[in-house]
Amino acid sequence: MGYLRQREAWKDRQTIVMLRCERRVGRQRSRQTRYYISSLPNDAQRILKTVRGHWYFENGLHWVLDTAFQKDQSRLCTGHGPHNFVLLRHIGLNPLKQEKTEKIGIKAKRLRATVDQTCLLKVLAS
């Protein structure tokens, strides 16, 4: 925890949070301890709501970007390329999510739009 010694860099910090998490899938159980430095006041309910909101967003958006756009397989890692492609992925994801007539997943909708002009026009019009 050497980074805590650099506390002047953590402007407006109010709390240091330790959160113990447990995940159960079938009979499997995993436990994890996470630490956060926060500018939130010492309010356990508010901090928990904020952390859950972060992971909801993280799991929802980033999981979709990875499965639909294979983000984790990207080898782009120099210059402005990674940032530019994040923007392009988001630009591509938004109309795919807004188009509601095709009752298929984002990845399947993206692939269908590449081969079916009708589907592509629905996505672009959304």
CA–CA separation, 5 vs 9, rounded Å?
9
pLDDT on residue 99: 92
What is the pTM for the complete model shown? Answer: 0.52
pLDDT on residue 33: 94
pLDDT per residue rounded down to tens, the chain (126 residues) = 566 676 677 777 888 889 898 989 899 999 999 988 888 888 899 998 988 888 877 777 777 888 777 777 777 778 888 888 888 888 888 899 899 998 898 889 989 999 999 999 999 998
| Cα four-point dihedral sign 114, 76, 67, 36 | negative
